[in-house]
Structure 1
């Protein structure tokens, strides 16, 4: 089903994939009529060409990229605009789309979220943006329909920013990187490696894009095969996939931890742009005659079977056939792994009690969002459910078409009536169930979802209140098949279905009649509309010469997700209020963190105010510093908190995973490695140092770490620094490799200070 190459590979003539070595050299000579070096062939990938076209420097090893368009949704754009505004924003220099698909319910958490929407509309008018009102489209569907284009690059403040199947390299990042683009700066990154994803064969009926995506994720996530690289989809199997099928695979590449993706384009992509009234957006993209890749993933589409990603990660994959054959063992393994991952010894997801007659029973199904709510997915499920009734039992099915144009098309082709009369609940475009703000299952519920993630609590449960549920990821077709069986997990390949594949007709009038398109029409006199829950960022101080850090959270899990760093779901209402949102930081992973961080922050606040702050604990710490021979003046030494985690930052691009730590006085993270570039970038943009340390740390929770000369070390680009664990010893801490701008951002204390200084 999936084969990974060890080492590099060459794609010759767009068809033949050959492992790097003597055989490849001979094959290249026969095909090209000459020898082609690896360096030359590496420039023949589609990714290289697009990156070069967007690079504003002459250095292709250290890229400075400018994007063609950007997008944010309503739990990120307020903070981004506020940050850019504080940094001197005058207008949006490129199309910037403000969508409203995350905070659409307008009442989660008890705040008035509609204030955020009014702020977004006023910002679009003032700065010249594009505003998509709630329920019209989820962020990535709108960007596919209206902003993608072959050879383009799009940056968005959402991790699932993937438009590769449409010839567009999408990058999901934290808000700081979008602020840089708004201020006409660049996205700085080392040229990423490129891995070929070679698709061959044709999927069997009933096997959908989520099945292919989960198979790939299962093969490459844990080994880091494509981490921070570009996945470049090639091979003869592409022509056997409809464009929306390709989109469904593509959007899930985020769960591999790759940086971006790009696909070969063809006549089907050309037709997609014609249907959407943008024929000029198409051009054919192919690798060069001889292209070199840093690795290759070969996928036999004909061998892919219906898959399920069991809790608590998209990489925890099995075929449904395998699950049903080894159910008790797999459920037992999942329960034990969940208890370990969530640090709850007595945790019980309730999966064992959901086994009936040897089959696992789901309580709820969800199909929607950027991965599941596509026209093709919903149309196929309608064909599965046509003429059937789901009944009045426990199992419920919710379907959210991912845009109003898609919804309209599904009404016109008769799919929506089929779904509704079968008992499915059809709702408007909304991402909430993907992150725990809608369709929250009951205690010990088991929800199967064609969505993007099944991280802990991402379905909305609250273990601290004694309520726990879990999510498995499946393809829409197998969810439809399961719905027919009353919730009994069933692969769609067990059914004999006539998939009608109705043609899609896009109606742009849905957007024209409601969306605000103000790009190029900024009105500086327009007033921003603020609500009581929209606040400015607090003041943040620059990095001092020396630094005293207290370890306020010590996390030993293999991976720490951004959902664990700052929970999704009920926190959505506070995304525009940094101080209130910060109260939720690490609340599900380390409930004591906020109190410990605040206790340290009070020292720094007192120091900055010129007050006496040397109580017993801190006085003892400075006596220990003095005993080491350092003459570090307390009033000139920054005091802050630090979080240790083995591998933090997997998952969402949300900058609040870092900014909330900063708001609470955080000055650094220490990790063996950072799960994603975007989390590392978020730390830097908020003036936090992403330290590294290999091996078992010589410090523990509540220890003080003294870092003499940290400002000088950062300024000069040192790679290591001697750190002193007061009362215990020393260790060499790894300093991050930073660009010149990134060094200055850290020295200034955050991105806002950096731009104010300019």
Structure 2
């Protein structure tokens, strides 16, 4: 199905040549030939630096949803922002249905509207659109770059390079600064053939993810899609694959701009924004992944990661072994004291029975996906037993067209529940299953707790990712797991899906304020909206206490700060910090608070007895106290800055890792004034909560540009010299940490 080449290649005359064959084919050196990629042309057009080795990017537009935009605007406002200098879209698709905390969700929406009026932004009210659907419909076009404070900011199918980052990176754009990265690797994703009936975009995406995630084949790279297979895919199909590239840990993605895209932009009323885009003959790539679309089969990604994927046929042939492994992973991942009922009990007469289906969000709720599901279920009922199905159209214009064509009627008649345009099921804030239930979802993630369960309260449920077509096929069979290719009349996805676009709902409800800043408007603050607490500059010496040590192969941002209902407190940094690592290490917060309390006392009375005891003989006048989180590979998943900022609010000063799962999480750590340490062999240090790390001269070392800093690890009274590393920290990143955080840096 997929063939991965991990070394450099040239693309010439429809073939890939090893780099060593380039001279014989008359091709230039890789440094010159890489200019033939689509990614190079787009990056060059947006780069403000003198060269292309170190990029300084300015974006065409930005987007945030209602878990992130309050913090971003508050950060930028505290740093001196007077108006939005580029189009900035504020959507309300994440916490629209969360009732936790009373009025605080809608209070944030009111704040967002007031900010759009004051600073000149675009405000999309709740239930109008999922953030990424809105940006595809209204902003994405060939050659553009868009930045979003959501990890699934991917509009490559529209010829746009889009990047999902933590909030501070958006604040930098609002302050007219640049997005600074080294020139990324560009990996060719070469598509051939056409999908067979019953295979949807999620199936292709899951195959890509399972083939690339574990070995980091495309980590922090740009995935550049092209090849003859592209012409066989509709725009929705392309977008369904593209949005899931986030789960490979790539930086961004881009596709060709062809006639299919031209016609689609014309339907959207933006045909004038089209321009052709394709790789040049002879372009150089850092690797290639060849995807034979006709060999992809319906897939299922078992808990607790999209890369834990198998064909549905493989799953059925190995059900007992695979479900036993999920049982074991559940106990380990969720740190359960009591083992829940085994998923093996869901095998009845050799068939696996699921409890719930959900088709939703930026990946699942698109027009073509829902049309296929409606066609499969048309004239049939899903039944009155345990299994139930929910469908969330991705935007009101999409919902309007589905309604006019009768597809919503077919789904409702089949017993499906039609919901609003909302991202909730994707992050654990909608359609939470019953305890022990198994949910199949066409959404983006199936991390622990993404389905909304609370293991600390004995509540555990499961999410597996599947394509809408196979979810509908399963619903057709009353919840018996079924791949859509098993249907006798499996649906075919045309390369052009007939679609009419009517944006009347947007014209009726969206506040279009881009370029219309009104400084006289006042921001409207609800009682939960709070400023960031003051952060102090990095002291000369540090004595850090390990407050959590995580030895999982990968730690997601959802584990660092849970998604779902906890995100209702997103606009109150102190309240939100109470949930940090709450489902992974419930003692983290009290441990960190204990260290922070003594550190605050040190700042006012460095000779206080409690301070002297905590400092272990070091001078409180130039030695600061702080907490540290150790995780082998933290930061996979969401772009939410709260994964780092909550640690900082609780007195966090550093992370210690073998490596960071994503660039965006490492950036969040730095932007919130924490040191992004890595260390070789850190797993063997056996670091545990309560251990200390003394780092003398850390401020001077950081300021001088040092990439290696000696430190002393103290475990049970035994001292050991260790080396901490800060590879690749830029001068600006160092200055941000020295200042204490991004806000302090700009305030200076």
* Matches of 1:299 and 1:699, distance apart in 2: 42
Give the structure 1 partner of residue 305 of structure 2: 313
TM-superposed deviation, 1:341: 2.7
> Does 1:598 pair with 2:593?
yes
Alignment deviations for residues 666-701 of structure 1 (CA, whole Å, 9 cap, x no partner): 000000000000000000000001000111226432
Cα offset for 1:497? 4.2
Shift of 1:158: 0.2
In structure 1, what is the Cα distance between the partners aligned to 2:137 and 2:9? 34
Match for residue 540 of structure 1 among 535, 544, 550 = 535
Which residue is 1:748 aligned to? 739
Q: How does 1:572-651 map to 2 (within 5 A)?
A: 572-610=567-605, 612-615=607-610, 619=613, 621-623=615-617, 625=618, 633-651=619-637
Query: Would the aligned equivalents of 2:27 and 2:282 in 1 still touch at CA under 8 Å?
Result: no
**Number of the residue aligned with 2:720:** 729
Aligned residue number for residue 217 of structure 1: 209
Alignment check: 8 A CA contact 1:57 1:63 kept: yes
Residues 605-662 of structure 1 show CA distances to partners (whole Å, capped at 9, x for unaligned) of 112233654428x526432x5xxxxxxx212221100010000000000000000000
Alignment match of 1:512 (pick from 507, 526, 536): 507
CA contact (8 A) 2:111 2:523 kept: yes
Distance 1:25 1:210 in 2: 39
Contact 1:110–1:573 (8 Å) recurs in 2: no
CA distance in 1, matches of 2:257, 2:493: 25
Verify the 8 A CA contact 2:553 2:632 in the aligned structure 1. Answer: yes
Task: Measure the CA separation in 2 of the matches of 1:403 and 1:136.
Answer: 6
Provide the residue aligned with 2:700 in structure 1.
Answer: 712
Query: For the residues of structure 2 that align with 1:272 and 1:349, how far apart are their CA atoms?
Result: 48
Pair 1:276-2:272 in alignment: no
Q: Give the structure-1-normalised TM-score.
A: 0.96
Partner of 1:324: 316
Maintained 8 Å contact 1:367/1:373 = yes
Tell me if the contact between 2:187 and 2:286 (Cα under 8 Å) persists in the aligned partners: yes
Identify which range, 426-435 or 727-736, moves more after superposition: 727-736
What is residue 526 of structure 1 aligned with on the other side?
521
Task: Tell me whether 1:700 sits opposite 2:688 in the alignment.
Answer: yes
Question: What do residues 546-589 of structure 1 show as CA deviations (whole Å, max 9, x unaligned)?
Answer: 11111111111110000000000111210000000000000011
Structure 2 residue aligned with 1:369, among 361, 365, 370?
361
Q: Distance in 2 between matches of 1:103 and 1:474?
A: 24
CA distance in 2, matches of 1:38, 1:638: 48
What is the CA-CA distance between 1:371 and the residue it aligns to? 0.2
SS in 2 for 1:554: strand
Cα distance in 1 for partners of 2:225, 2:652 equals: 40
Equivalent residue number for residue 340 of structure 1: 332
Q: Secondary structure at the match of 1:706?
A: strand
Q: CA deviation at 1:277?
A: 0.3
Structure 1 residues 200 and 511, CA gap change in structure 2 (3 angstroms): same
Q: Displacement, 1:748?
A: 0.3
Distance 1:286 1:115 in 2: 45
Pick from 669, 678, 695 the counterpart of residue 683 of structure 1.
669
Which residue of the partner structure matches residue 37 of structure 1? 29
Q: Is the 8 A contact 1:197 1:297 kept in 2?
A: yes
Asked if the contact 2:70/2:111 (under 8 Å) is kept, the reply is: yes
Partner Cα separation in structure 1 for residue 687 and residue 234 of structure 2: 54
Aligned partners of 2:98 and 2:429 also within 8 Å: no
Q: Distance in 2 between matches of 1:66 and 1:81?
A: 18
Contiguous gaps of at least 5 residues in structure 1: 626-632
Please say if residues 383 and 499 of structure 1, whose CA atoms lie closer than 8 Å, have aligned partners that are also in contact.
Answer: no
Separation in structure 1 between the aligned mates of residue 433 and residue 686 of structure 2, nearest angstrom: 42
Residues 437 and 514 of structure 1: CA distance in aligned 2, closer, same or farther (over 3 Å): same
**Are 1:237 and 2:237 matched, yes or no?**
no
What is the CA distance between 1:741 and its match in structure 2? 1.5
Aligned pair partner of 1:143 in 132, 135, 138:
135
Q: Is the 8 A contact 2:27 2:33 kept in 1?
A: no
Q: Which runs of 5 or more residues in structure 2 are unaligned?
A: none
Measure how far apart 1:112 and its partner are: 2.7
Question: Paired residue for 1:287, among 272, 279, 295?
Answer: 279
Q: Distance in 2 between matches of 1:423 and 1:612?
A: 69
| Cα distance in 2 for residues equivalent to 1:452 and 1:620 | 45
Residues 712 and 722, structure 2, Cα contact 8 Å, conserved in 1 = yes
Quick one: distance in 1 between partners of 2:614 and 2:246?
46
Residue 18 of structure 1 is matched in structure 2 by 17
Q: How far did residue 109 of structure 1 move?
A: 4.3
Residue in structure 2 matched with residue 629 of structure 1 by the alignment: none
C-alpha contact 1:649 1:675 (8 A) present in aligned 2? yes
The partner residue of 1:390 within 374, 378, 382 is 382
Query: Quick one: distance in 2 between partners of 1:9 and 1:273?
Result: 33
Corresponding residue for residue 64 of structure 1: 56
State how many pairs are aligned.
740
In 1, distance between residues paired with 2:658 and 2:706? 18
- Give 3-state SS (helix, strand or coil) of 1:258's partner: coil
Does the alignment pair 1:88 with 2:80?
A: yes
Task: Report what 1:152 is aligned to.
Answer: 144
Is residue 127 from structure 1 mapped to residue 119 from structure 2 by the alignment? yes
Q: Structure 1 runs of 4+ off > 6 angstroms?
A: none
* TM-aligned CA distance change 1:324 to 1:289, over 3 Å: same
The residue number in structure 2 matching 1:491 is: 483
User: How much has 1:498 moved relative to structure 2?
Assistant: 5.3
Instruction: Report the Cα offset of residue 35 of structure 1.
Output: 3.4
Determine the C-alpha separation between the residues in 2 that align with 1:349 and 1:205.
36
Secondary structure of 2:509's aligned partner: coil
Which residue of 668, 679, 693 corresponds with 2:654?
A: 668
Partner of 1:630: none
CA distance in 2, matches of 1:540, 1:744: 14
Change in Cα spacing, 1:561 to 1:157, as seen in structure 2 (3 Å) is same
Per-residue deviation, residues 197-231 of structure 1 (Å, max 9, x unmatched): 00100000110000000000000000000000000
- Quote the Cα distance in structure 2 between the aligned partners of 1:620 and 1:464: 31
CA distance in 2, matches of 1:10, 1:243: 27
RMSD: 1.4
Taking the aligned partners of 2:709 and 2:338, their CA distance within structure 1 comes to 41
Residue 167 of structure 2: aligned partner: 175
| Structure 2 contact 196–492 (Cα < 8 Å) conserved | no
Contact 1:109 1:570 in 2 (8 A): no
Report matched runs for 1:411-490 at 5 Å. Answer: 411-490=403-482
Partner of 1:5: 5
- Of 500-509 and 246-255, more deviation after overlay is shown by 500-509
Higher deviation after alignment, 303-312 or 600-609: 600-609
418-427 vs 34-43, greater mean Cα deviation:
34-43
Deviation at 1:338, TM superposition (A): 2.9
Cα distance in 2 for partners of 1:140, 1:270 equals 19
Question: Helix, strand or coil: the match of 2:229?
Answer: helix
Please say if residues 349 and 468 of structure 1, whose CA atoms lie closer than 8 Å, have aligned partners that are also in contact.
no
Measured at CA, do residues 614 and 677 of structure 1 come closer, stay the same or move farther in structure 2, by a change above 3 Å? farther
